[in-house]
Amino acid sequence: MTDRPADADDAHPGPGPRPTGAGPGRLVVAVYGVLALAATARGVYQVATKLDEAPVAYLLSLAAGVVYIVATFALATGRRTLAWVTVSVELVGVLTVGVLSLVDVGDFPDETVWSGFGQGYGYVPFVLPLLGLWWLWRTGRPVDGTGEAARQPLG
């Protein structure tokens, strides 16, 4: 018996969903990990040294870092429900902050990880949740005995 959660992908060695952190998923997890480190370090530094200059922006940067840490953990360990929630929160966050940072510049006198839809990070914060959600959907499809995704009839 393992102490992994019931929704962990590799807890079911037979037919079923594929692991989120295996194969190409390793690259997804790696990019999440790098972004988690970058965003968290930036947020911690900003909050610790100049919170009074732009509290909303700096707290959002720190919050983004925490979201990336949890998403990285969830994807790496196959905790699908947690991954779906955190990656969805990430997408909503980057879209919301992206729009607000362009419309209401007063609340964002300095950039956050999600400002301008992640422009300061090469738009990776915008593309990554889309990739993450697609990967969760793709690996969540049942697998037949050959390791291929089972084709399910439409309708």
Q: For residue 113, what pLDDT is reported?
A: 87
Model confidence, pTM = 0.78
Closest to 65 measured CA to CA, from 42, 36, 85 = 36
Beta strand segments in 21-149, E: none
Cβ(89)–Cβ(31) under 8 Å? no
Give the pLDDT confidence score for residue 1 in this predicted structure. Answer: 39
- Which range is least confidently modeled, 21-25, 70-74, 95-99? 21-25
Place of tokens 């992206």: 98
Whether residue 10 has pLDDT greater than 60: no
Determine the Cα–Cα distance for residues 123 and 21; give it in Å rounded to an integer.
23
83-94: pLDDT as tens digits = 999 999 999 999
> 20-69 pLDDT, tens per residue?
878 888 999 999 999 999 999 999 999 999 999 888 888 988 999 999 99
Predicted confidence at residue 25, as pLDDT, reads 87
| Helix (H/G/I), strand (E/B), else coil: 21 | coil
% pLDDT > 90, the chain: 53
